[in-house]
Amino acid sequence: MPSRTEVRLASVVLRRLLHEGLLQAGWNICFENGSPVITATDLGAMLEKVPAKYIHYAYAGGAHTEGAQHTGYFLLVVPKEEYDASEPEVKVREIQNLFNPGVKKDFPLPEFISSACVISGSASVSRLELLRYVANKLGGVHWDNERGGWTGPVSSRQLLLDEGHLVVGRLPAPLYETLSIAEAIATAPDIKKFCNKVGEIAPEEDLALNVIKFREGRIGKFSDLTFNTNSENTEA
């Protein structure tokens, strides 16, 4: 499982790809139309039939790690007036029958980034909002230690993420969601197709590893400084 620092750094790349639109822009260069399709946990579909009043919090997850992991984690709370202490299993079965666990969906990229990865009651946080939170507030790009003073609808959703509902392995829930987003993108067949196309359009130049190429001035041809890699003490 990656460290917290590694996931925060990944949020910077994901912010550029998704929030700044570089992934879709690159796709548009390589292909005539459409968007890449990303397969991921569909949290909304899992909870579609569950009344919002029961949903204390729910996270989409989906990243496969060598340790703790999940694909849809929920904590539900039954209002006291609906709880029958003499037959508690009745209400449990009723709510369990509303679940649709483990649902995944093939999301076109715009739908993927706007889809909910955190739900609490009737409030939700989209995957894009979560990435911006991690990048801009949790230290991916910036660190904001005064998040408690925010106001407004978006800020309220970010304050929800500050509540620290869940830790998966060594990753707090927002970082595990970031890892899940990264994995969903990295493993998507369309992304592999996109990377192959980029390699065709703009192949990386194949350069020798034991050569320094330099110019004696600011312009002109390169000269080479070749290292003898067969010697114990590498010499130019």
pLDDT digits (tens, 9 = 90+) for 165-179: 999 999 999 999 999
Q: Report pTM.
A: 0.83
Total residues belonging to the chain: 236
Q: What's residue 146's pLDDT?
A: 64
Q: Which residues pair with 176 in a beta bridge?
A: none
pLDDT digits (tens, 9 = 90+) for 24-83: 999 999 998 899 999 999 999 999 999 998 899 999 999 999 889 999 999 988 887 777
Q: Report strand pairing: 104-108 vs 55-61.
A: unpaired
The whole-angstrom separation of Cα 197 and Cα 184 is 19
Q: What is the mean pLDDT of the chain?
A: 87
Query: E strands of the chain, at which residues?
Result: 37-41, 55-61, 71-76, 104-108, 116-120, 123-126, 167-168, 171-172, 211-214, 223-226
